[in-house]
Amino acid sequence: MAGRRRVRGAWAVCLLFVSLVACGGGPATDGARAEVQGLLDRRANAVLDRDQAAFRRTGALDWFENTRGVPFAAWGYRLTGLRRDGDDAVADVELSYRIQGYDNAPVSVGRRLTLTRDASGGWYVERERPAGKAAQQLWDQGAVAVVRGASSLVLGVGQSSARLQVYADLADRAVPAVSGEWGRDWSRHVVVLVPKSLEGMAGLLGSPASSYRGIAAVTTGETGAPADAPADRIIVNTDAYGVLGDVGKQVVLTHETTHVATRAVTSAATPLWLSEGYADWIGYLASGRTPVEAAPELARAVTGGDVPEALPVDADFGFSGDATQLARAYEGGWMACRMIAARWGEDRLGDFYRAVGPHRQRAGAVEDALHDVLDTDLDTFTADWRDYLEAELG
């Protein structure tokens, strides 16, 4: 369920020389670059103005109609590379856009445009697509339907408005549930992307579909993100999410919304057992699920005499690993947070989470927070957690 950030591929060597010689092609003159940048500026204005005719004058319509309902507040292109071959060219660009009311800073993604000269001698876009290994945008996958909730914006492809409204209702219940535990010092609204299939989800994440099979949703965002950052995106795997019951669907949306709320104080120092366990803790609060019901894999292990020796490590949360190990990792983190809330109090659990993130590195972060907030140490905490598992799940 946890969000993962991706890194873009680098064109370092190529870009060092792009203003002089295009990689794999002929010279890219300053004049050509200026012409193409002008074309990109007109294209961006057409998107913001919803002007189909103006967009068509810059090139093929491509995905233009797919974005019709998306409330963009900003859209711009910056040319980063141009490779020419006579009257044809390939342009690498950085697309920056903001969604009105949600993004406090632009989302930046790499795009690649295939260009040719038109009859008048100007440049014309034949195709625009994600650059290299860059992730797709939702409108690359089809027409985007938009549903607004009280605290949510839901964007979907291949989904009816009625179905997207269900997601909006779930998200609108999740936001106050998270605020009730975490507090109100976050945006208190969420963006939910609902692609048509698992493959669509994988395309939005720029990863193989096999990495997310069985994962109901993930949240993308930068850990430790400042207030002026793009909004996190909750991306749903409709294949896995669709088989959940009503309670499970609410748990998942509340879990992912918790990641949105806690993102600013989550850092590389925060272990996944804590970030995922805390998200599950809030997710399950109103579910009515008992520990055995919510942690079946871990309960099966404990009743079989296989009590974990230590808290889950980050590697246990790998999506492409063993499904049983992944489930036990999530359940173990949840039980650790549940124990803190039960023994030290719910407020103290939030204080503990906030105390871990500010550390510059992982080493010592949990240990210091355990000492400062819970007045315990890691060995004692781990032993207490193991006893708690046996008491609640055995």
Q: What is the pLDDT of residues 164-201, one digit of tens each?
A: 999 999 999 999 999 999 999 999 999 999 999 999 99
**Residue 71: inside a domain:** yes
**Residue 5: inside a domain:** no
Are 95 and 139 found together in one domain?
A: no
Are 242 and 293 found together in one domain?
A: no
Are 78 and 162 found together in one domain?
A: no
- What tens digit of pLDDT does each residue of 89-114 get? 999 999 999 999 999 999 999 999 99
CATH (domain of 119): 3.10.450.50
Which residue pairs from 38-43 have beta carbons closer than 8 angstroms and sit at least 24 positions apart in sequence? 39/115, 39/122, 39/123, 39/124, 39/125, 40/77, 40/78, 40/79, 40/91, 40/93, 40/113, 41/76, 41/77, 43/77, 43/125
- What tens digit of pLDDT does each residue of 35-49 get? 999 999 999 999 999
Are 272 and 365 found together in one domain?
A: yes
**Residue 185: inside a domain:** yes
Are 78 and 165 found together in one domain?
A: no
Mean pLDDT throughout 116-120?
Answer: 91
- What tens digit of pLDDT does each residue of 1-12 get? 444 333 223 222
Final residue in a domain of this structure, among 110, 134, 158: 134
DSSP assignment string, 309-339: SSPPPGGGG-TTS-HHHHHHHHHHHHHHHHH
Are 106 and 149 found together in one domain?
A: no
**Residue 121: inside a domain:** yes
Neighbours of 322 (CB within 10 A): 11
Are 293 and 327 found together in one domain?
A: yes
**Residue 3: inside a domain:** no
Are 170 and 286 found together in one domain?
A: no
Separation CA 296–CA 25 (nearest Å): 59
Final residue in a domain of this structure, among 218, 236, 265: 265
Are 283 and 357 found together in one domain?
A: yes
**Residue 365: inside a domain:** yes
Question: Mapping DSSP to helix (H, G, I), strand (E, B) and coil, where does residue 304 land?
Answer: coil
**Residue 6: inside a domain:** no
Domain carrying residue 75: 12-134
**Residue 1: inside a domain:** no
Indicate whether 22 pLDDT > 60.
Answer: no
Are 333 and 280 found together in one domain?
A: yes
Are 120 and 239 found together in one domain?
A: no
Are 40 and 153 found together in one domain?
A: no
pTM equals 0.89
CATH (domain of 182): 3.30.2010.30
Mean pLDDT throughout 139-143?
Answer: 97
Final residue in a domain of this structure, among 134, 151, 177: 134
Question: What integer pLDDT is reported at residue 233 of this predicted model?
Answer: 96
Domain count, the chain: 3
Question: What integer pLDDT is reported at residue 225 of this predicted model?
Answer: 61
Separation CA 175–CA 187 (nearest Å): 10
